[in-house]
Amino acid sequence: MSKKKESEFGQGLTYCLALFLSHQNQIGNLEAPIAIPFLNRYRTWFNGASDHLYDLQIPASFPSSLKTRLNQFQKKVLTWGHGFGSSPKPVKKDYEWSIAEAQTLLMKIDKVFGVEVVEATWK
């Protein structure tokens, strides 16, 4: 893992997931047309939110299933945000999945550290 003294979009694990989730309510009006034709509202959202996942640090000590899931999440979300022309445009279900998956990953990380997790009914 690299050690940086400065980071434009953050470095860490739970910190970067939290920064990603902080974009959740910045999706805007999903029905409004967007000025750049090859983008869509979701790709634009993923473009900004996924920046926080570039320096996602996944501990080697984590269970392999969790490391795999974190890696897959990072790759998928970065592709939706920065894979212009090389991947299908993300849609509403992709946005919804990414929010739910980030929350689930945070709960799984808590469990690794022995923290009892009770999922919220109000999110």
Reading the chain (123 residues) residue by residue, the pLDDT tens digits are: 556 678 889 999 999 999 999 998 887 655 566 665 555 788 888 999 999 999 999 999 999 999 999 999 999 999 999 887 667 889 889 999 999 999 999 999 999 999 999 999 987
Spatial distance between the Cα atoms of 97 and 77, rounded to a whole number of angstroms: 10
The percent of the chain in helix, strand and coil, each rounded to the nearest 5, is 50, 0, 45
Domain that holds residue 51: 14-112
Q: Using CA of residue 101, residue 43, residue 20, residue 24, what is the dihedral sign?
A: negative
Spatial distance between the Cα atoms of 65 and 21, rounded to a whole number of angstroms: 22
Q: Crossing angle, helix 92-112 and helix 64-82, to 10 degrees?
A: 150
Q: Is 58 among the domain residues?
A: yes
94 and 80 in contact (C-beta within 8 Å)? yes
Q: Is 1 among the domain residues?
A: no
Q: Is 91 among the domain residues?
A: yes
Q: Is 30 among the domain residues?
A: yes
Closest-CA residue to 81 (of 92, 89, 93): 89
pTM, entire model: 0.85
Q: Is 39 among the domain residues?
A: yes
